[in-house]
Amino acid sequence: MAPALDRIRVGSAPDSWGVWFADDPLQVPWERFLDEVAEAGYSWIELGPYGYLPTDPARLTDEVTKRNLKVSAGTIFCGLHRGPSEWESTWEQVSRVAALTQAMDAKHLVVIPSFWRDDKTAEILEPPELTTEQWGHLSKGMERLGHEVKEKYGLDIVVHPHADTHIDTEEHVERFLDSTDSDLVNLCLDTGHYAYCGGDSVKLIETYGERIGYLHLKQVDPEILADVQANGVPFGPAVQRGVMCEPPAGVPELGPVLEAAQNLGVELFAIVEQDMYPCEPDKPLPIAVRTRKFLRSCGA
């Protein structure tokens, strides 16, 4: 019998329903997402792209409460490696998302670095490696963001290593952690993205445990990943090929990851995200039900 993972709070997100954008005809309506995520047995959700779920706090509170759901985090994207000129546009986005996140009694803001390669067109937008100066901008910018978000909204930022961004591989993640203040910036470890980029989630948790503030649970299909890497396929098309797969069919094994997280001795959210954009409307719910059952078998 799996050990009880009593410090892990399991949830899911719009991403597991094929939602990548605030408004897109290929996505399920938000009401259906809320109905089905509750039906699948989850009690925690993320906001997803700002504007997908209602942005009026009173209405959103009503919608999640009547389904016995609670919000764990909001999400923003930013390109702070470009320097101080990025601050104003970043803060404009952050202030909207953080205000709604705070109103929903959530405590985390997931921060995803901007893509260096367009996830739809595969166009190279920027070099994949940052210069020393850009690393400095990124570190200082994220620390400033962490400070401002905490001061104004009472939220902790957790930075999400992501494929096709500048914080992706083990080397880049460790460099980022080593150059930022743990009082201001911590990590949202996405097990799928980290495996996609060659990282070992258990090793990262055991080495940088005090910096793990949040988890996204995801797996990659090793065979599809090998083909994707061999052919330089961008992240968006890789997702369409099914590179992010239903647990427990892929890597990393989630049981050991959850046990390592439990051993940190702190409460952590573990939000399921199976990237599926676009997907058939009837596909997500059965997967979500099976995934929730699998996580219960792991003790979560």
- The pLDDT tens digits for 233-249 are 999 999 999 999 999 99
Q: Is 151 exposed, middle or buried (CB count within 10 Å of its CB: 0-12, 13-18, 19+)?
A: exposed
Q: Which region holds residue 34: left if phi is over 0, alpha if psi is between -120 and 50, else beta?
A: alpha
Model pLDDT for residues 157-185, shown as the tens digit of each residue: 999 999 999 999 999 999 999 999 999 99
| Sign of the torsion angle spanned by Cα atoms 112, 55, 214, 289 | negative
Question: Is the pLDDT assigned to residue 119 strictly greater than 80?
Answer: no
Confidence of residue 1 (pLDDT cuts 50, 70, 90): low
Is the per-residue pLDDT at 108 higher than 70?
Answer: yes
- Does pLDDT of 156 surpass 90? yes
Mean pLDDT of 216-221: 98
Neighbours of 92 (CB within 10 A): 9
Is residue 173 within 8 Å of 199, Cβ to Cβ? yes
pLDDT at 146: 98
- 3-class secondary-structure state, position 214: strand
Q: pLDDT tens for residues 39-83?
A: 999 999 999 999 999 999 999 999 999 999 999 999 999 999 999
Mean pLDDT of 223-231: 96
Q: What is the pLDDT of residue 298?
A: 95
pLDDT over 80 at 270, yes or no? yes
The residue whose two tokens read 């909207």 is 96
Quote the CA–CA distance of 250 and 275 in Å, as a whole number.
13
Q: pLDDT category, 152, cuts 50, 70, 90? A: very high
Q: Output the pTM of the full model.
A: 0.97
| Residue 30 predicted with pLDDT over 90 | yes
pLDDT above 80 (res 228): yes
Distance from the Cα of residue 66 to its chain's centroid: 25
Task: Name the token pair of 261.
Answer: 């997280």
265 has pLDDT over 80: yes
Read off the tokens for 209: 């445990």
CA distance 127 to 296: 42
In this predicted structure, what is the pLDDT of residue 120? 74
Mean of all residue pLDDT scores within the chain: 96
Query: Percent of the chain having pLDDT more than 90?
Result: 96
Sorting pLDDT into bands at 50, 70 and 90, what band is 23? very high
* Residue 241 tokens, joined: 């090929």
Question: Is residue 172 within a helix (H) or strand (E), and if so which, with residue range?
Answer: helix 170-178
CA proximity to 158, closest of 194, 112, 197: 112
Question: What whole-number distance in Å separates Cα of residue 116 and Cα of residue 187?
Answer: 20
- Which pLDDT band, with edges at 50, 70 and 90, does 122 fall under? confident
To the nearest 10°, report the CA torsion of 285, 286, 289, 292: -90
Tell me: pLDDT of 3 over 80. Answer: no
CB within 8 A of 268, min separation 6: which ones? Answer: 7, 8, 9, 212, 213, 214, 215, 261
Alpha carbon 246 to chain centroid distance? 16
Cα separation, 42 vs 290, whole angstroms: 12
Q: What is the predicted pLDDT for the residue at 245?
A: 97
Cα–Cα distance measured from residue 26 to residue 19, given in angstroms and rounded to the nearest whole number: 9
